[in-house]
């Protein structure tokens, strides 16, 4: 991979909830050690001829087994991050055990994993946390000090829809490849589904669907050179001058105001219709020829409370 590459992450802010649900198993290991991610059918049925698929963050292929075929015996499709580091427990398949072993874990391995039995319509979720090796130097911002160190990320609003806002986090001229994360105001990594586009060489597009707080950070890490830099949504929004969430609240206020105005107008019209029936009128017959034919002089015809009345003489 050559320097000068650009990395993109896309984040969709949505009102739909996504994240840690009941039943998620948390596995915590230290960087460099091995991690076992558990996945077993309650029925204990033999799964040697079954299909199960392990994925990270919804899209990244970790391990796939289909009737004996898997990524360790020639099957293609495994993500490069896990190539040669993931294995299953073959002798345990007869007992319904689809657990996997990830060797020499890295910080980038942290995330949400799913063990899916698509034909059985069963899915298990595991949250893997890889703690940083205390022997390693602390990450610090080395932008401009080391060649290839990623500059501060740039956060851009791509689109605003009814479901939320699409944000793009960009990192330019970074080498080696950085890892990007979205963090909430408490510093927690936000879980999400990732979508990669392998056809665009040197460019990485990742779409994340999450629910977030008002303070949001995009963090770029390069573990190989102990470099880390970040940007907050309030601190660096490229091409947008107004505050992201203030703008949304302002737009919501306008919509509510318009709705109230329309509703009030309808009430006024309804009251007028009730007080003065159809036709709503106050007419005066001033045509002298008509007065002579009717034998009246200057009669006034008016509507009061929806009842037509003749004037008294």
pLDDT of residue 8: 47
Name residues whose C-beta falls within 8 Å of residue 142's C-beta, 6 or more positions apart in sequence.
149, 225, 226, 227
Write down the pTM of the prediction. 0.46
- Domain positions in the chain are 32-131, 154-241, 247-309
Question: What single-letter DSSP state applies at residue 164?
Answer: E
pLDDT of residue 74: 83
Residues 51 and 53: their CA atoms lie apart, in Å, by 7
Percentage, residues of the chain above pLDDT 90: 27
Structure-block tokens of residue 289? 């020829």
Q: Are 184 and 36 in contact (CB under 8 A)?
A: no
Q: Which residue has the higher pLDDT, 37 or 272?
A: 37
Q: Are 276 and 303 in contact (CB under 8 A)?
A: yes
Unique residue bearing structure tokens 């470099």? 227
pLDDT score of 213 more than 50: no
Best CA proximity match to 210, nearest among 231, 230, 228, 188? 188
* Cis peptide leading into residue 15 (ω within 30°): no
How do residues 58-116 score in pLDDT, each as one tens digit? 888 999 999 999 998 888 999 999 999 999 999 999 999 999 999 999 888 988 999 99
Residue 181, H or E segment: strand 179-183
How do residues 236-287 score in pLDDT, each as one tens digit? 445 443 444 444 554 555 666 677 777 778 887 777 777 665 444 444 444 4
3-state SS assignment for residue 105: coil
Unique residue bearing structure tokens 């995009």? 218
Q: Could you tell me the pLDDT band of residue 310, with boundaries at 50, 70 and 90?
A: very low
Q: Are 216 and 130 in contact (CB under 8 A)?
A: no
Q: What is the mean pLDDT of residues 42-50?
A: 94
What would the DSSP string read from start to end of 261-272?
HHHHHHHHHHHH
**Quick one: how far is CA 68 from the chain centroid?**
36
Q: Please give the CATH superfamily to which domain 32-131 belongs.
A: Immunoglobulins (2.60.40.10)
Q: Could you tell me the pLDDT band of residue 230, with boundaries at 50, 70 and 90?
A: confident
Cα separation of the two ends of the chain: 103
- 32-131 and 154-241 in the same fold: yes
Residue 304 backbone dihedrals phi, psi, to 5 degrees: -130, 120
CATH 3.30.70.1350 is the classification of domain 154-241: no
Q: Which residue has the higher pLDDT, 249 or 298?
A: 249
C-alpha distances out from residue 56 to 42, 116, 295, Å: 22, 11, 95
Alpha-carbon torsion 140, 146, 150, 154, what sign?
positive
How do residues 164-207 score in pLDDT, each as one tens digit? 667 777 777 777 777 777 777 777 777 655 544 443 445 444 44
Residue 263 CB neighbour total at 10 angstroms? 9
């Amino acid at each position: 991979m050559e320097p000068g590459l650009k990395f993109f992450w896309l984040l969709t802010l949505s009102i739909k909830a996504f994240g840690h649900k009941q039943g998620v198993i948390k596995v915590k290991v230290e960087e460099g050690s091995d991690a076992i991610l558990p996945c077993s059918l309650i029925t204990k049925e033999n799964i040697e001829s079954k299909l199960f698929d392990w994925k990270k963050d919804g899209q990244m292929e970790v391990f796939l087994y289909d009737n004996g075929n898997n990524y360790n015996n020639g099957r293609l499709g495994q993500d490069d991050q896990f190539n040669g580091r993931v294995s299953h427990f073959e002798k345990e398949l007869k007992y319904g055990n689809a657990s996997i072993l990830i060797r020499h874990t890295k910080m980038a391995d942290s995330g949400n994993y799913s063990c899916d039995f698509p034909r059985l319509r069963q899915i298990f979720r595991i949250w893997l946390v890889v703690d940083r090796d205390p022997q390693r130097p602390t990450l610090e911002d080395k932008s401009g000090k080391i060649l290839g160190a990623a500059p501060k990320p740039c956060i851009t609003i791509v689109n605003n829809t009814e479901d939320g806002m699409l944000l793009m986090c960009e990192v330019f001229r970074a080498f080696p490849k950085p890892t990007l994360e979205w963090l909430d105001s408490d510093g927690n990594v936000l879980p999400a589904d990732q979508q990669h586009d392998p056809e665009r060489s040197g460019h990485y597009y990742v779409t994340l669907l999450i629910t977030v707080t008002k303070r949001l950070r995009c963090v770029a890490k390069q573990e190989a050179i102990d470099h880390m830099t970040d940007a907050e949504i309030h601190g660096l929004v490229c091409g947008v001058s107004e505050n992201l969430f203030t703008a949304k609240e302002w737009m919501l206020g306008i919509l509510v105001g318009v709705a109230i105005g329309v509703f009030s107008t309808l009430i006024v019209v309804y009251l007028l219709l009730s007080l003065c029936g159809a036709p709503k009128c106050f007419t005066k017959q001033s045509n002298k020829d008509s007065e002579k034919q009717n034998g009246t002089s200057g009669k006034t015809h008016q509507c009061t409370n929806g009842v037509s009345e003749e004037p008294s003489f």
